[in-house]
Amino acid sequence: MEEARRIQSLPPYLFARIDEKIAEAKAKGVDVISLGIGDPDRPTPAHIVERLVEAAHNPENHRYPSYVGMLEFRQAVAEWYKQRSPKIELDPKTEVVTLIGSKEGIAHINLCYLNPGDIALIPDPGYPVYGIGAILAGGVPYAMPLREENGFLPDLEAIPGDIAQKAKIMFLNYPNNPTAAIADEAFYAQAIAFAKANDIVICHDAAYSEIGFDGYKAPSFLQIPGAKDVGIEFHSMSKTYNMTGWRIGWAAGNAKVIEALGRIKSNIDSGVFQAIQEASIAGLLGPQNVIEAVTKVYQERRDLVIEGLNAMGWNLKKTKAAVYVWAQVPKGHNSASFAELVLDKAGVVITPGNGYGEYGEGYFRVTLTIDTQRLKEALVRMKQVFGKFEL
């Protein structure tokens, strides 16, 4: 049986490959410490879980949910944004759609705007789903390099004019995965102007917007004047409220784009279990000090990782947001060879940067979403085995 060409062109999903390597090491008896996947280790706040239990007992929630999500959930999203920034006004009926986690929406938005051969502007390095979603839609991913000397922001002026004219969609992601870089309002304003000039839909992935350190608070794309004219913002309950396994998120912004995404979804899935939506309302409208508590833990771990790596020869600055540390590999290594060395010699999994694209080569990523003691142990192992690296 021959697979469709769209499947044949897909690379193995990055984290599936990492899981395989972990399984191989464990089969050899290695006590593996994984600093790979960014899956929060902290529990979902108790009041959210309690609301789920209560809602799950309601027979009304056992039926098919709304395709676009309960209006009450979408109203909670709009209120959450308004509390975050008074500049953001959203109509919950037309400018918010519920997603089965933001990953699902990020993949499906490509189906809304890409005809075969159309271009999607993809940050590189970046979350693999941006490019994979474009390929599955028949589109052509065009890499926007994120270079360290440019603060890991894409140089929009460097995009060739003919590419910009053919592009239908552009993905942005700040605070950034995998680099932990941040973007300011001036950059978003530039991106909005670029999108208007070239008739491009901006899709901003704000999965890490609530994880800020040392008082930093990331701006929302939607608070920038003109944002709703050209695009939408994705967010989810996953990182903000430690709900990765619950699979619920949203897209908000331009009403036409939201309607198109909702139309695609209504033909593909049947929405999010209503009990999960009710629990998420409790999270969005409930006490927000749960975010402060988990951010404090991540900040402590950030300090631990950066200090630990610097003691081994790196010269890293403290990141301001997200749950990752992005660092160059030592001399004599590429991303894959260094990740393999660390796993083989120290039993520690780091994510090779080339898994995020061509311009991720020469880097690796460490996640902060692991128990603090295990994180300390991972750094101790690396220090004992390797001592200092030459950068």
| Whether residue 239 is found in the same domain as residue 310 | no
Give the pLDDT confidence of 121-167 residue by residue, as tens digits.
999 999 999 999 999 999 999 999 999 999 999 999 999 999 999 99
Give the pLDDT confidence of 173-183 residue by residue, as tens digits.
999 999 999 99
Q: Which amino acid is at 153?
A: L
| Whether residue 192 is found in the same domain as residue 301 | no
pLDDT at residue 14 greater than cutoff 70: no
pLDDT at residue 17 greater than cutoff 90: no
| Whether residue 186 is found in the same domain as residue 330 | no
| Whether residue 268 is found in the same domain as residue 293 | no
Using left for φ > 0, alpha for ψ between -120 and 50, and beta otherwise, residue 300 falls in alpha
| Whether residue 263 is found in the same domain as residue 297 | no
Give yes or no for a contact between 82 and 74, defined as CB atoms under 8 angstroms apart. Answer: no
| Whether residue 77 is found in the same domain as residue 145 | yes
Angle at 336 between CA 382 and CA 303, to 5 degrees: 40
Give yes or no for a contact between 98 and 73, defined as CB atoms under 8 angstroms apart. Answer: yes
Rounded mean pLDDT of the chain? 95
Residue 391 lies inside a defined structural domain of this protein:
no
The CATH number assigned to the domain holding 326 equals: 3.90.1150.10
The CATH number assigned to the domain holding 111 equals: 3.40.640.10
| Whether residue 245 is found in the same domain as residue 313 | no
| Whether residue 35 is found in the same domain as residue 98 | no
**15: confidence class by pLDDT, cuts 50, 70, 90:** low
What pLDDT does 13 receive?
Answer: 64
| Whether residue 147 is found in the same domain as residue 189 | yes
Give yes or no for a contact between 32 and 347, defined as CB atoms under 8 angstroms apart. Answer: yes
Domain that holds residue 319: 5-43+289-386
Q: Tell me the whole-structure pTM to 2 decimals.
A: 0.96
Mean pLDDT (whole number) for 359-381: 97
What pLDDT does 8 receive?
Answer: 79
Mean pLDDT (whole number) for 311-316: 97
Where would I find the beta strands (DSSP E) of 160-318? 167-173, 201-205, 231-236, 249-253
With a pLDDT cut of 90, the percent of the chain lying above it is 90
If residue 352 lies in a helix (H) or strand (E), which one and from where to where?
strand 351-352
Residue 155 lies inside a defined structural domain of this protein:
yes
| Whether residue 265 is found in the same domain as residue 302 | no
pLDDT at residue 10 greater than cutoff 80: no
What is the count of structural domains for the chain?
A: 2
